[in-house]
Structure 1
């Protein structure tokens, strides 16, 4: 792609052609922006529809993308399918087909694959026991959700909700490319203490003593038996025009990761400094189907057995690195594998 191309924004040069630099947490990718033919499987006909001349980034220098066993500063990744509604994003380039809608469902197991649905194929439904809920969403460079509070085992935590307000540096975002949820310390510490009280009061368990610097820093050396249970965690969200709160209930599989041979577990939430962004990560999204409607600023969700919803990925073609100037939700089995790998590190310290 040349520097004067309409989609070369911003006009960064890479070896004389249109280039890009995208950062994703501690990771970054650098390369050039090109155009190519993409093939997508039509779920109605089974054939492949061809979309020529789509712009995408080809990452030639990718660093610190930790997916499963693929770690280290000079690792190799197949690509990132960014889905934020930026001017060069996949969603906007195929706006007529996507119609501002896409859905995904992350399976419980990290070996399963799952299809992303776009446009009219992005549907969501429930039944008598599974209610489809919707919450307000800000569809900017990232997908911001209006979180109002957190409860553990039905007890509301004392957290100032202003820490999740959308500003240049703060907010609460949903991102399935992040393995586990990230909370600022003023939200993480009350959550951690509530978990410690729950397991101490109910079962007399005390957390493991771990070396400093662990991403997963709340772990136990005992796993609940059939008569014991994990506490539920409820996220309370805002819906414009609705008088009450909309609750997203997260069970044990969303909040805790077993250690090797179920000899213990870790809470899959990490902390960051105050006045930074919070993220609802992939592990917390497992077995919940999400439908993004960014034209109407709504996010729909419903509990789902995502294994029943999973199919082979329907995108085909040679892609070095899909457009990533606004990297956002990327349903990823590798993200779950990364969380599992860090938990296994903890098990070795027992």
Structure 2
């Protein structure tokens, strides 16, 4: 192999920064308690753009004059935030001028604002009348300004933009999350549920939908979109439905699903009876750049894939078993030379099954990836080593349209919905 760095997932959504922000820094913006937000339309569509690191972003404008920012989609946090020009721990962006510099119209959220400055996202500073937010990987102050989601001028037939007055968002002072080296992304658009500062609560909507651009080169001209409003996602003839269930108290913003099975080559290799303690343990997360599964689910899935490729084609992985030290991020990889020598090669189909009969079957391009520099093709899912829930990341969501209906606690998804 020429390098191994490409094999490592670049960012997993939850990276926690255990530091404390003090209120001693001078803040010169006016403070105002805001309780109302307006939206120009009940139905809005904006373009979604991919990055090389498997993050997906939308373009936004903040304040007057309009300050352009690119924000990664995240369904695991409720609150939108953007990197502040006065950041102390900063994202690796191409230019410091991409960091948000508030204009005169920016106003702080008051520390005694009982609507927005509430745990577990925000809290009042002890020595100043300010509202501090803490999302773990981003910390700073809450404020408000005019906020617009827009589609790039280069997009074919750009859909209409969305404008929100007095939009509550965070000024990121300490930001540990990473979107890749020199990424243009300077924050996140929070699409998680369960907090009054959430984007969805401020829009006063209960339905949104997105479709991520497929990785297949034949679909490069596809316009992938993020939709808000009552008609979001109603563009496909058929779709699967599955309930959004309540997660554990320590993950109130995530969208949990009831996984009933994981199948390889149409045979079940994992069932919910193996989930830890019977607690819900499967989250759909558009902000995660890699799918992470409990070891109890990952190991039998990996073994079934190995068995399929060995029994059908006589193929054996680069590492028959992971080495004791310094294993690759993706544990199951094959040399491209071996794969290309078999003209009749087919990969096993991998599918996730959910309550209600919903089935997410992964195309070959979503389950396996060819790392050209490493001369290997890998199963692009990894085992969970900690206590976090299993997460279905963005790479395995490509080419499907996912629609979240919070009013009915239901997730719908359909193939080829971009």
Q: TM-score, normalised by structure 1?
A: 0.73
Specify whether residues 62 and 41 from structure 1 end up closer, same or farther in structure 2 by C-alpha distance, changes over 3 A only: closer
Is 1:108 aligned to 2:214, yes or no? yes
Is 1:83 aligned to 2:228, yes or no? no
Give the secondary structure class of the aligned counterpart of 2:328. coil
Give the secondary structure class of the aligned counterpart of 1:157. strand
Give the secondary structure class of the aligned counterpart of 2:170. strand
- Check whether the contact 1:138–1:144 (CA below 8 A) recurs between aligned residues: yes
Select 1:37's aligned residue among 119, 140, 146.
Answer: 146
- Check whether the contact 1:164–1:278 (CA below 8 A) recurs between aligned residues: no
In structure 2, the partner of 1:335 is none
- After superposition, the C-alpha distances for 1:245-282 in whole angstroms (9 at most, x for unaligned) are 32221121111111107943111111113754111111
Is 1:203 aligned to 2:316, yes or no? no
How many angstroms does 1:183 deviate by? 0.6
- Check whether the contact 1:216–1:270 (CA below 8 A) recurs between aligned residues: yes
Structure 2 stretches of 5 or more lacking a match?
Answer: 1-108, 152-156, 247-251
Specify whether residues 49 and 158 from structure 1 end up closer, same or farther in structure 2 by C-alpha distance, changes over 3 A only: closer
In structure 2, the partner of 1:292 is 404
In structure 1, the partner of 2:166 is 53
How many angstroms does 1:12 deviate by? 3.8
Specify whether residues 49 and 257 from structure 1 end up closer, same or farther in structure 2 by C-alpha distance, changes over 3 A only: closer
Please, which moves more after superposition, 257-266 or 176-185? 257-266
- Check whether the contact 2:233–2:403 (CA below 8 A) recurs between aligned residues: yes
In structure 2, the partner of 1:317 is none
Specify whether residues 15 and 79 from structure 1 end up closer, same or farther in structure 2 by C-alpha distance, changes over 3 A only: farther
Is 1:161 aligned to 2:268, yes or no? no
- Equivalents in 2 of 1:202, 1:93: separation in Å? 54
In structure 2, the partner of 1:137 is 244
Specify whether residues 159 and 238 from structure 1 end up closer, same or farther in structure 2 by C-alpha distance, changes over 3 A only: closer
- Equivalents in 2 of 1:268, 1:21: separation in Å? 31
Select 2:293's aligned residue among 160, 183, 202.
Answer: 183
Specify whether residues 214 and 247 from structure 1 end up closer, same or farther in structure 2 by C-alpha distance, changes over 3 A only: same
- Equivalents in 2 of 1:47, 1:281: separation in Å? 28
- Equivalents in 1 of 2:286, 2:278: separation in Å? 19
How many angstroms does 1:182 deviate by? 0.7
- Check whether the contact 1:145–1:172 (CA below 8 A) recurs between aligned residues: yes
- Check whether the contact 1:147–1:161 (CA below 8 A) recurs between aligned residues: no
How many angstroms does 1:161 deviate by? 3.2
Is 1:216 aligned to 2:327, yes or no? no
- Equivalents in 1 of 2:390, 2:190: separation in Å? 19
- After superposition, the C-alpha distances for 1:71-113 in whole angstroms (9 at most, x for unaligned) are 9xxxx95101111122210000111xx3x11010111239887
Give the alignment's Cα RMSD to 1 decimal: 3.0
In structure 1, the partner of 2:93 is none
How many angstroms does 1:46 deviate by? 5.9
- Check whether the contact 1:124–1:132 (CA below 8 A) recurs between aligned residues: no
Which protein, 1 or 2, shows the higher relative CO under an 8 Å CA cutoff with sep ≥ 6?
Answer: 1
Specify whether residues 166 and 40 from structure 1 end up closer, same or farther in structure 2 by C-alpha distance, changes over 3 A only: farther
Select 1:238's aligned residue among 348, 352, 355.
Answer: 355
Select 2:379's aligned residue among 267, 271, 278.
Answer: 267
Specify whether residues 150 and 119 from structure 1 end up closer, same or farther in structure 2 by C-alpha distance, changes over 3 A only: same
Is 1:2 aligned to 2:110, yes or no? yes
Specify whether residues 234 and 277 from structure 1 end up closer, same or farther in structure 2 by C-alpha distance, changes over 3 A only: same
Specify whether residues 153 and 45 from structure 1 end up closer, same or farther in structure 2 by C-alpha distance, changes over 3 A only: closer
- Check whether the contact 2:233–2:401 (CA below 8 A) recurs between aligned residues: no
Specify whether residues 48 and 137 from structure 1 end up closer, same or farther in structure 2 by C-alpha distance, changes over 3 A only: closer
- After superposition, the C-alpha distances for 1:283-342 in whole angstroms (9 at most, x for unaligned) are 110111111101101111111163xxxxxxxxxxxxxxxxxxxxxxxxxxxxxxxxxxxx
Select 1:62's aligned residue among 172, 175, 184.
Answer: 175
How many angstroms does 1:135 deviate by? 0.9
- Equivalents in 2 of 1:283, 1:229: separation in Å? 20
